[in-house]
A and B are shown apart, each in its own frame.
Chain A
Amino acid sequence: MRLTLQAAAVLVLLGMVGLFARSLAQNQTTVYALVKDGESPQAPNFSLPDLRGAGHDSLAAYRGRIVLVNFWASWCDACQEEAPLFNQVIAQYGKRGVTVVGVDTGDFASDGRAFARTYHERYPLVHDSGSVSQRWGTGTGLPVTYVINRRGKVVHLFDGVVTGSSLNAVLRPMLQART
């Protein structure tokens, strides 16, 4: 009887340790929190299905370029507002090594595709079922845009709508520095 109770107690204890470890693993610090704290963390890679159905797209494929990772959703009004800007970025800076990756998150892929058609988005778009946006963080809501330098470090984030002037202010020095 005593041995059984001891074994049960050990099992309960192990279970609790397991639960604690699991919650720790889930509560990783987000990229959002790190950048807000003034750090420039290495951008965590992701590989997600292409929103238009062309296989998978991975962030690592753009290493060596300046990448804007834009988290958006079709139901987000502010995302509609900034969508045309990213096409301009591609047109203006694409040949100088700037890429935009749009991550459609918290959204139905079908609605995301319709949104992309409406706004004629001409850059890579992927669909996230929640895990990537959770790892990166979206602060108080969408849209959120991260700026990654050529060495793969997240150096800036736009919390909300990106404007042309604010984006230029971040991109120009990076393009001049060529790092």
Chain B
Amino acid sequence: MTRLRLLAVLAVLLGGLALPDTALACNGWNEPSMETQLMCIVCHERLDQSNSPFATQVKQHLVQWCAAGWTADRVRNTLVAQFGEQILAAPPKHGFDLLAWVVPGAVLALGAAVAATLAWVWSRSRRGPPGGDAVALDPAMDARIDADLAGFE
């Protein structure tokens, strides 16, 4: 009986935790997630981190649009039409702004290629000629060493 009660309490608690997400679920998006994708164009902070009057106003509109069943694309397009692309936290993936997405990856790939090439060239330059470890001795020195060694025997 006690175990059953405990399970019931847990179920209620878990249900309560899950409730906000369900309540905020919109037409394929939710407000907290959308707020992380938007900027407060007045205070230049992410919308979810801002409590400025502008951010508050946009958040109120998000609540209304969520209730009205707007799609995420419609929300974003409406905001861009009102405030320009500066309202988006991430640059759009088209036109000149595409560079913002492409350049970091390209620079990383280029850097990796340069590093790999340099490593390859460096490893090859360290490889000496075959038998390079043997040092050719002066014949006089060679004879002297032989004589010294014979003296030890």
- A binding-site residues for B, Cβ under 8 Å: 15, 19, 22, 73-77, 106-109, 111, 129-131, 141-142
Partner of A73 from B54, B81, B86, B99 at Cβ < 8 Å: B54
Contact B96 A111 (CB under 8 A): no
A74 and B53 CA atoms in complex are apart in Å by: 9
Interface pairs (29), CB distance under 8 Å: A15-B99, A19-B99, A22-B96, A73-B54, A74-B57, A75-B53, A75-B54, A75-B56, A75-B57, A76-B53, A77-B53, A106-B41, A106-B42, A106-B83, A107-B54, A107-B82, A108-B57, A108-B61, A108-B82, A129-B81, A129-B82, A129-B83, A129-B84, A130-B41, A130-B83, A130-B84, A130-B86, A131-B84, A141-B42
Give the number of residue pairs across the A-B interface with Cβ within 8 Å: 34
Size of interface on B: residues with Cβ below 8 Å to A: 14
With A15-B99, A75-B53, A107-B54 known, 6 other A-B pairs at CB within 8 A are: A19-B99, A75-B56, A76-B53, A77-B53, A130-B41, A142-B42
**Please, which residue of chain A has its CB at the minimum distance from the CB of B43?**
A141
Asked if B57 and A111 sit within 8 Å, CB to CB, the answer is yes
Alpha-carbon distance between A19 and B100 when the two chains are bound, in angstroms: 11
Q: Which of chain A's residues has its CB closest to B96's CB? A: A22
- B44-61 contacts to A, CB under 8 A, are 53-54, 56-57, 61
A111 to B83, CA, bound (A): 13
Nearest Cβ in chain A — how far from B44, in angstroms? 12
B42:A109 contact, CB within 8 angstroms: no
Q: How far is the CB of B33 from chain A (nearest CB, A)?
A: 21
B:83-123 near A, CB below 8 Å = 83-84, 86, 96, 99
- Bits for B61-95, please: 1 = Cβ < 8 Å to A, else 0: 10000000000000000000111101000000000
Q: Which residue of A lies closest to B56 (CB)?
A: A75
Residue of B nearest to A129 (CB): B84
A106 CA to B82 CA in the complex, in Å? 8
A130 to B42, CA, bound (A): 10
- Residues of chain A within 8 A (CB-CB) of B53 are 75-77
Q: A73 to chain B: which residues have CB within 8 Å?
A: 54
CA distance A131 to B86 in the complex (A): 10
A109–chain B nearest beta-carbon distance, Å: 7
Chain B nearest CB, measured from A151 CB (Å): 31
B81: chain A residues at CB < 8 Å are 129
Q: Which residues of A contact B54 (CB under 8 A)?
A: 73, 75, 106-107
